[in-house]
Structure 1
């Protein structure tokens, strides 16, 4: 795994190795990340990354949030509860020397604390097929993590319908990965 573009372009991230089967680590492939960030960097989503405050739910290795930092985001809060994922995430933050721009919450994404400030861009990448995305998104909104017009990028094994209060703006398929992009607050 590596950072695809931006100020950390080409920098390698910590190897997942055999990982931990129980941790459900499934880092977003470099080519999927590259395609996703090309979408977020242009067209109707242009400017999304510049100075963004990002919430990376089910962060795993942190590849999505770190790619956002590389491409202009100001700050990322990473949320995960897995021991192996947290070790890899902290190593990746150290490798890129972005400790000042990152916060790691050791938490179940469905049990978030109150936010100090809302985020403009939310990455939601729950373990596939476990129905964890909707409750995590609801909790994040309840606890003030999601700005009124935030963009949500939801990665799952199938396209996701926008929950109440969100409008799906785009859907992309990359093999067995579906990316549903939604905006909060639009009818």
Structure 2
């Protein structure tokens, strides 16, 4: 069962897409991730971009916790329909679902002058590292000052290749899941993720 962990819609269940086209983030990982993001002041009032959104669990969690605007981007049509159904059921304000390829949406968003404070990426395992690096490069111009980027991957995946515009932050591991963060390089001295320390499993940062 997948659910919203906390906030206005805390405890509400979410539908998940059928089959293996998406990889939902576990409630445990979302709880730990958003606890850190909230402690850093990166969620409430934020403009959020959820790429490879799947069911929309990450973006909808942000909306539940007070994000101002959330855009869920998912290329798989069935998954996008599930994300729309979840957004409609929760009726959280400021949520929009876009059924499109991430790369194409980033280009359109850049042309429209959109800016985001928090970007959440949970790409499918088959996505190659070169493709992910290209997406991060295309994302960078859309980030507002002080923006935070979160990438969730398998612990077997290498560290993301961050573009020069992004300053690498913390790495956390939760079982088989690794979560990396980065911040806009022009705000590198502001550790919006709370600095070093231990993650939810008691491991120190990598």
TM tier relative to shorter chain = 0.7 to 0.9
**What is the CA deviation profile of residues 140-174 of structure 1, one whole-angstrom value per residue up to 9, with x for unaligned ones?**
335xx322331000111133243322111111011
Ranges in structure 2 where 5+ consecutive residues have no aligned partner: 189-206
1:87 to 81, 87, 112: 81
For 1:126 and 1:61, the matched residues in 2 are separated by 13
- CA distance 1:115–1:146, shift in 2 (3 Å): farther
SS for the counterpart of 2:87 is: helix
TM-score, structure 2 as length reference:
0.80
Alignment match, 1:105: 98
Question: What displacement does 1:115 show?
Answer: 3.7
SS for the counterpart of 1:121 is: strand
Alignment match, 2:11: 10
1:130 equivalent to 2:127? Answer: yes
Contact 1:57 1:79 in 2 (8 A): yes
TM-score, structure 1 as length reference:
0.87
Aligned length: 177
Runs of 4 or more, structure 1, over 4 Å off, are: none
- CA distance 1:63–1:75, shift in 2 (3 Å): same
Question: What displacement does 1:5 show?
Answer: 0.6
- Superposed CA RMSD in Å reads 1.6
- CA distance 1:61–1:96, shift in 2 (3 Å): same
- CA distance 1:15–1:117, shift in 2 (3 Å): closer
